Structure 1
Amino acid sequence: MLWVILFLIIAGFLAGLMQSVAGLASLVSYPALLIVGVPPVIANVTNTTALIFSGFGSLVSSSKELRGHWKKLSLFIVLSLIGSIGGSCLLLLLPSSSFEKVVPFFIFAAGILLLMSSRKKKIVGNDIGKSGNEVSSLQWIVSSICIIFVGGYTGYFGAAGGVLFLAILSAITDDEFHIVNAMKNVIGFASNLIATFIFIFKSHIAWHYVIPMGIGLLVGGYVGPIIVRHVNIHVLRILISFAAFGLAIYLMIKAF
């Protein structure tokens, strides 16, 4: 049992780093739960619950980046929560495997969008949701639908949901990458939190695995934003994009 605890702490730390930096925690945390014998459906629910710890660590560590952005971020959070509630309820009705053939294309598209995005260019205005900003109704509606959809995807399936949020936020804002990454972490945290509340009453969570993995996720989630502040953003953006491509290809092979 001791090796299981140590394994999950280490896996949680690596997953926390990947979540707070690239939004790819499930690439590590979900397989780790399967390795220790957790059934797939319960592993999916347990993984979502454990990711709350990473989100909390990132939130505390990113207070500097989030300063002055809470009004805009609050709108993003509300939109993502609307989707997350729907996605979490859908997961309880349909198996996540029913979505597996579509997921690789979402992740691949996120990688392309992230690779093409630039903080110097934006699809819609930086102050989406603020009054007085000349943003067309169509652009606002499309952006809102995208965030709701990714929130639903996060609550339903979850794999690389952070990358999808990162890609969308990079496209619709002109904020610095480390600020966009911090906002992505908070949105993901809120989505996972509301999904967990639903799972507590409607599903089964392997809490004895959540705790050790959560410890690692908390530390990794705290360290991740610090790393982002000191690395080459353009290189990091490219690495995250290609990691998304790799995950998309892997999931595509597995699905088809």
Structure 2
Amino acid sequence: MNLLDAAAVFGAGVAAGGINTIVGSGSLITFPTLVALGYPPVVANVSNNIGLVPGSVSGAYGYRVELKGQRERLMRLGSASLIGALLGGALLLGLPESAFKVIVPGLIIIALVLVVVQPRLQKWLLARREHHSPHGGPWLWAGVLAAGVYGGYFGAAQGIVLIAMLGIALDDDLQRINAAKNVLSGVVNGSAAVLFIGMSIFSDTKIEWPVVLLIAVGSAAGGQLGAKVGRRIPPLALRAVIVVVGLVAIVNLLR
């Protein structure tokens, strides 16, 4: 890796850390950058996942005020993210490299539809709910598990999927929901990273550690920037940003 390549990877890490904290889909910046630089898709995906873990931690810390009072909720939903991430990571190492090109665009489209209709759908659901669960109930747990599988497998736009489901299932402020999304995304990335590192020790799974380091430093800085920008965005504008990022993600994946 020459100096120009290193600068490109670092810059992509900063951008991904910021976008992941605000919305999600940061991997759609770092992953294509690594592939364009010649790294094999699975190697790029694994190295990218590990590198983005500090960005997830940084973004969650940046939203620490909005996380107050959510500990029990995140403990419950975090268990779903942990299990899902390990399942998704195992699928990544076992399925063909081309599989996500078919699966991911469809998931992003569904997530964007949910984000757009979330206010009305949430109002409809709450009006028919006899007992509101502050944790979203078993259906949200199952949805977070599925999002964890997806996040452990590829990860791009898992934030969009999570914020859509959390926004529908929870009667809470969008910024607090976004803070919870950052924690759950961090659990997914961290769990998958541990799996990938373990597999690299006991199998031929390859990790490009210089890439990991550059993305890690960049995403950590980007996470703090994203937290400062994200909490100042009004709910309607935040939904618009989510939709735009999701549409860009679909276009990039379908190229």
CA shift for structure 1 position 249:
4.3
Q: TM-score, normalised by structure 2?
A: 0.89
Contact 1:91 1:157 in 2 (8 A): yes
Q: Does the 8 Å contact 1:11/1:32 carry over to 2? A: yes
Q: What are structure 2's unaligned runs of at least 5 residues? A: 200-204
Residue 162 of structure 2 corresponds to residue 190 of structure 1 = no
Match of 2:101 in 1: 100
Q: Does 1:207 align with 2:209?
A: yes
Instruction: Give me the whole-angstrom Cα distance separating, in 1, the residues matched to 2:124 and 2:214.
Output: 41
Q: State the match for 2:163 in structure 1.
A: 166
Distance across 1 between alignment mates of 2:20 and 2:33: 15
How far does the alpha carbon of each residue in 1:166-225 deviate from its partner, in whole angstroms, 9 at most, with x for none?
A: 111111112211111111111111111110111012122111111112111001111112
Distance change >3 Å, CA 123–CA 205, structure 1 → 2: farther
CA RMSD of aligned residues (A): 2.1
Note the alpha carbon deviations across 1:49-87, whole angstroms, 9 max, x for none. Answer: 111011111122111110111111111111111111111
Code of the aligned partner of 1:209:
V
Aligned residue type for 2:167? S
CA distance in 2, matches of 1:78, 1:116: 27
Counterpart of 1:61, as a letter, is G
2:33 aligned residue: 32
Q: Distance in 2 between matches of 1:33 and 1:123?
A: 43
Distance 1:31 1:123, change over 3 A: farther
Q: Which moved more, 1:40-49 or 1:93-102?
A: 93-102
Which residue of structure 1 aligns with residue 245 of structure 2?
243
**Displaced runs of 4+ in structure 1, greater than 3 A?**
119-125
Q: Secondary structure at the match of 1:179?
A: helix
In percent, how many aligned pairs have the same letter? 32
- The residue aligned with 1:157 is 154
What is the CA-CA distance between 1:146 and the residue it aligns to? 1.0
Rounded to whole Å, the distance in 1 between the matches of 2:170 and 2:52 is: 25
Which 5+ residue runs of structure 1 have no aligned equivalent? 126-132
What letter is aligned with 2:61?
Answer: V
TM-score by length of 1: 0.88
- Cα distance in 1 for partners of 2:67, 2:242 equals 21
| 1:95–1:226 distance in 2 versus 1, CA, 3 Å | same
CA distance in 2, matches of 1:247, 1:124: 29
Question: Does the 8 A contact of 1:122 with 1:172 survive in 2?
Answer: no
Change (3 A) 1:215 1:141: same
Aligned length: 244
- 1:129 is aligned to none
